[in-house]
Structure 1
């Protein structure tokens, strides 16, 4: 069966990469007809194929447009399987509990949240799936109107952790326990614990297993006490946020000066875009917010590796980091975090290290 599952994964990946939704749906249908359960189909075929597509994009074997197309095809497969779940598996069985699934504000990567939604529906939950980029204020209105037993929040990008923190605290203040998941919270859930979530799981299967016993207990006081996480509301993070436009502008100017091919009218697509620079600044700010320089170190290593895959000159990233360092006066934690990122980047470039195993999603790519 393991070889069969691998065959289905590769067939689905190939169909999705080719943009052939009909072929992709047929792969899923053939697997189901061959006896693969819907849950295994979701978790061991569709999810694995989608992860490989993200790896292909990071390794520069797929363009951003190709990655978007492949993701859209797999989302179509999820939609077809969701209809199968509704008509075949639920029937007249009573629903267990009510859950709200949403991506935190600013998070547009919906695939993990949709995957969790369908697995939980298979296991008998009534799920309100709210989709991408749900502003916290609207999420709270929904909780008051529908009174779910709990909330599951998804975030794939670590730069959304401040927004996730606001959502977690607001949901708990409304009396609703919060389960979180997604790459943003760290491979061991460290940021979930830091931000006071009631529970964290690494994937949809683990989340469903945890919830088989029922909703998480409601707590009387939301989150962790402010005394245990003073850095989350630090003055330095507020100053950093105010300076972000100047940081991005200065880094782009330095990049254009030191790497002319990235200027306003390059002959080739720029090796680092304005979006890349803004994303780097966001990661630095988030590392300050959670007081964890390793968050920025991991990101810079990944970015250095990604640029290497695109044959980009190392001086491009160096120019951006140098420009940021010149504009972080009076922000000691940010300066220290930046210095660690620069050191790690230089080391990984010299050693030719690969960070392919640690691929944070970007604004323009899904994992």
Structure 2
């Protein structure tokens, strides 16, 4: 057992907050055993497994992301923290009391999977354990599940519901393919994760049967029951998104490699300092440009410019936290506009993106090594 009492005045601090602080200290110290003592000690002290998952581990993991974005921890530290959380969740699952039998109206079996290309599996893992704790039979398929393999698994196992998770918005086209394919075999889909928007707007846009902002809400929805799709309702993604008929998303996606190559060459012409970049610096800049193209393509897929401007604003915050003005992104957007002169929607989105970045500050600077330009 582990005491949550931290001394004088501790009674004014909510118990879950003290647990979060203790877990944060453990993952910051890269101390898996200490993290385990916090989590398992909370169970021994009578804190429910669901509360430990959702009110302790999940908030600490979100804090890890915030600290990385603010440049207060490294990518490696973020990976260590995530790995520790994954392992303590496994320990918690083996220690937690056996779940009660599902109540009336509950789905019996839920498959939990991440969208193809989505490597952030921890939110889905937390959901899987919450559902197990509520008495559901759960198949947890983990990260990056190709849609064809997902459909084959669902055919074989026949679950009542698929819970589909994605954290990265650029996976939304793949999520749409998965949603339509799964519904076509009669399995309803509940979507969750940051990729679907803070209000679930992209889950609704892509035709998911339900959306939940977090694991507790998802479990509550499933407790109430989720009906199966009606027979004969199979459709194609373009039926949900008629703007895709302009082919801008398809053509831009297919030409991504050439777009990045041409934009990188244009930056070297416009910004001579880039000609002195080392090969790793060039590769990092190319990766950053590829991210910009990916988010532009996804914004075209959803026909929602907020997805693109939100990404640029977030990227600007990351750069500024590292002492680099967000306006270093403007030359790259200008060059992309030249490459996409025959794409009217893309040009409108790029214009909105430039305006969003310009609003963050007017001081221009030459990109530093490895920063997106």
User: Which piece of structure 1 moves more, 229-238 or 54-63?
Assistant: 229-238
| 1:219 and 2:230 matched | yes
Hey, what's the Cα distance between the residues in 2 that align with 1:329 and 1:90? 58
Hey, what's the Cα distance between the residues in 1 that align with 2:210 and 2:204? 8
Hey, what's the Cα distance between the residues in 1 that align with 2:148 and 2:107? 27
Match of 2:46 in 1: 35
Q: In structure 2, which of residues 62, 74, 89 is the aligned counterpart of residue 63 of structure 1? A: 74
1:259 and 1:315 in contact (8 A); partners too:
no
Hey, what's the Cα distance between the residues in 2 that align with 1:36 and 1:270? 50
User: Which piece of structure 1 moves more, 29-38 or 131-140?
Assistant: 29-38
2:180 and 2:236 in contact (8 A); partners too:
no
| 1:337 and 2:352 matched | no
Query: Normalising to structure 2: TM-score of the pair?
Result: 0.87
Match of 1:17 in 2: 28
Match of 1:167 in 2: 178
State the number of aligned residues: 348
Hey, what's the Cα distance between the residues in 2 that align with 1:48 and 1:81? 16
Q: Where does structure 2 lack aligned partners over 5 or more consecutive residues? A: 1-10, 364-373
Q: In structure 2, which of residues 80, 87, 90 is the aligned counterpart of residue 79 of structure 1? A: 90
Hey, what's the Cα distance between the residues in 1 that align with 2:222 and 2:86? 24
Give the RMSD, CA atoms, in angstroms: 2.4
Match of 1:364 in 2: none
Match of 2:278 in 1: 265
Please report how far the alpha carbon of residue 17 of structure 1 lies from its aligned counterpart in structure 2 after TM superposition. Answer: 2.2
Hey, what's the Cα distance between the residues in 2 that align with 1:93 and 1:128? 16
| 1:129 and 2:140 matched | yes
Q: Where does structure 1 lack aligned partners over 5 or more consecutive residues? A: 352-367
1:287 and 1:296 in contact (8 A); partners too:
yes
Please report how far the alpha carbon of residue 330 of structure 1 lies from its aligned counterpart in structure 2 after TM superposition. Answer: 0.8
Q: Deviations over 1:165-221 (max 9, x none)?
A: 000000011111111001111111111111111010111010011111234333231
SS in 2 for 1:109: coil
1:98 and 1:125 in contact (8 A); partners too:
yes
1:17 and 1:67 in contact (8 A); partners too:
no
- Relative contact order higher in (CA < 8 Å, ≥ 6 apart): 1
| 1:89 and 2:109 matched | no
Query: Normalising to structure 1: TM-score of the pair?
Result: 0.88
Please report how far the alpha carbon of residue 252 of structure 1 lies from its aligned counterpart in structure 2 after TM superposition. Answer: 2.7
Larger Rg: 2
**Counterparts of 1:93-104 in structure 2 under 5 Å?**
97-104=108-115
Match of 1:357 in 2: none
2:186 and 2:228 in contact (8 A); partners too:
no
